[in-house]
Copies of this chain bind each other. A is one copy, B any other.
Amino acid sequence: MSDAHAARRTRLRERCQASGSATALVTRPANVRYLTGAAPRGAVLLLGAAEDVLLCGAPPRGDSSEGRPDDTVRVHLLPKPAGDPAVAAADLVTAAGAESLAVEEHHLTVARYRALRSVAPRLRLADLGGAVEQLRVVKDEEEISCLRIGAEIADQALGELLESILVGRTERHLALELERRLVDHGADGPAFATSVATGPNSGRRGHLPTDRRVEEGDFLSVCLGAVYRGYRCEIGRTFVIGTSPADWQIELYDLVFAAQRAGRESLVPGAAYRAVDRAARHVLDSAGHGADLPALMGHGVGLEIDEDPQLAPAAMGKLDACVPVTVEPGVHLPGRGGVRIDDTLVVRPEADGGPELLTITTKELLAL
């Protein structure tokens, strides 16, 4: 991966130079990891004209959860008591005679910004904006392979849960069991707080597990994901508990399934983000569920679970090949429950077989 990280920094350096800054300070942890291979706690990356330096308050651990810094980056360990590595970076830059430094204004707090100003009053602070986030949108095959392994792990954890007895168990316990199974199968951890929603809670996006127990006749909706080498994927499924789903359950499930399929089928290179949202949303809207739909129908995944692009009505931009996204429509009927179906897919050209589905657990309505 050394070459990949160095190549990413080269691309970023070119962007910075094009906008007039020879040096940049990267503070957002996922961006630091993307560019160096590691995100030790609190560490910042100084992208210099000559040399790139990872400034850390403590030695990098180099384990799978924080990653290992690339050989091509110099690791600079601050003496104790270590202050803010960003301030130390501003010192370095000034000593090297740089005139301007691009910073991540969307991540840096006003207080840290003022601290940089005060140690380096002559340094012009520019805005790096979302330059690193933009580089992160299109993944290379090594990144996609981490996502693919993460998705396999999530599929396995979910598959095992479905074989166990569910009635009578609480949402919290099912969520914890899923997280344990993720780790059993080799995940560094859950990609986000595992959501298990039963009965009237089912179908709610981001529902946090409660002490409600699974009952006969419930919808059960589950959303989980694994972190593998820093990469985070997501899968969501809805099941029905008991032998035969009610008519309203079948009808609602079929509707959400149709919406999700429409979203998946619209994942082609060149499709507008909002067109993917519209494809899924339109199906639910036409059936009268338009008023209370979630703000988006999907989003990018990678080193963070929710990254660009946003597949939402007002999103600007178009899909490229090799962009992994979720497609996750859902409908929740207050008091009754609902359905969510969520996959992680990678956008691929038609010639390569179209979108690559990473989360392969069946989307048939299973009665458990």
Which positions in A face B, CB cutoff 8 Å? 61, 63, 65-66, 80-82, 103, 105-111, 113-114, 127, 172-173, 176-177, 179-180, 183, 208, 210, 295, 312-314
Contacts and interface: CB of A to CB of B under 8 A. Distances in A.
Given A81-B314, A111-B106, A61 B208 contact: yes
A70 to B, nearest CB: 20
Contact of A179 (B109, B176, B210, B295): B176
Contacts of A111: 105-106, 127
Contacts of A66: 208
A295 B63 contact: no
Contact of A183 (B103, B105, B172): B172
Contact of A81 (B110, B176, B210, B313): B313
A295 B210 contact: no
Contact of A107 (B106, B109, B183): B109
Q: 6 closest Cβ contacts across the A-B interface?
A: A105-B110, A106-B111, A105-B111, A176-B180, A110-B113, A108-B110
Nearest to A113: B110
Given A81-B312, A208-B65, A114 B109 contact: no
Contact of A106 (B105, B109, B172, B173): B109
A105 to B, nearest CB: 4
B63 A210 contact: yes
26 contacts: A61-B208, A63-B208, A63-B210, A65-B208, A66-B208, A80-B295, A81-B312, A81-B313, A81-B314, A82-B295, A103-B110, A105-B109, A105-B111, A106-B109, A106-B110, A106-B111, A108-B110, A109-B110, A110-B113, A111-B127, A173-B180, A176-B176, A176-B179, A176-B180, A176-B183, A180-B180
A61 B179 CA distance: 23
A82 B109 CA distance: 22
Contacts of A312: 81
Contacts of A80: 295
A105 B127 CA distance: 18
A307 B183 CA distance: 30
A314 B82 CA distance: 12
Contact of A108 (B109, B172, B173, B314): B109
Given A111-B106, A114-B105, A81 B208 contact: no
Nearest to A189: B193
Contacts of A61: 208
